[in-house]
Amino acid sequence: MTVTTDRNHLETGVFDELTRILARTDERVRMELIDGKLRSKVVPDGDHGRIIEWLLRVCMQSRPELFLYPDQGLKVQAYRSGRARPDASLAPSGAFVGQGEWADPGPVLMAVEVTSYDSDTDTRDRTEKPRAYAETGIPVYLLIDRDSCEVTVYSEPDGVRYESARTVPFGKTVDLPDPVGITLETEQLKDWVR
Could you give the percent of the chain with pLDDT greater than 90?
62
User: What are the structural domain ranges in the chain?
Assistant: 44-192
CATH fold label, 44-192: tt1808, chain A (3.90.1570)
Q: What is the pLDDT of residue 44?
A: 66
pLDDT in tens, 97-149: 999 889 999 999 999 999 987 777 767 788 889 999 999 999 999 999 999 99
Q: What is the pLDDT of residue 3?
A: 42
Average pLDDT of the chain, as a whole number:
85
Q: What is the pLDDT of residue 46?
A: 81
CB neighbour list of residue 143: distance below 8 Å, 6 or more residues apart: 112, 113, 115, 125, 126, 129, 130, 151, 152, 153, 154
Q: What is the pLDDT of residue 9?
A: 56
pLDDT in tens, 159-172: 999 999 999 999 99
pTM: predicted TM-score of the whole model, two decimal places: 0.81
CB-count burial class (<10 Å; 0-12, 13-18, 19+) for 163: exposed
DSSP annotation of 148 reads T
Q: How confident is the model at residue 81 (pLDDT cuts 50, 70, 90)?
A: confident
Q: Between 164 and 34, name the one with better pLDDT.
A: 164
Rg, C-alpha atoms of the chain? 16
Q: How confident is the model at residue 5 (pLDDT cuts 50, 70, 90)?
A: very low
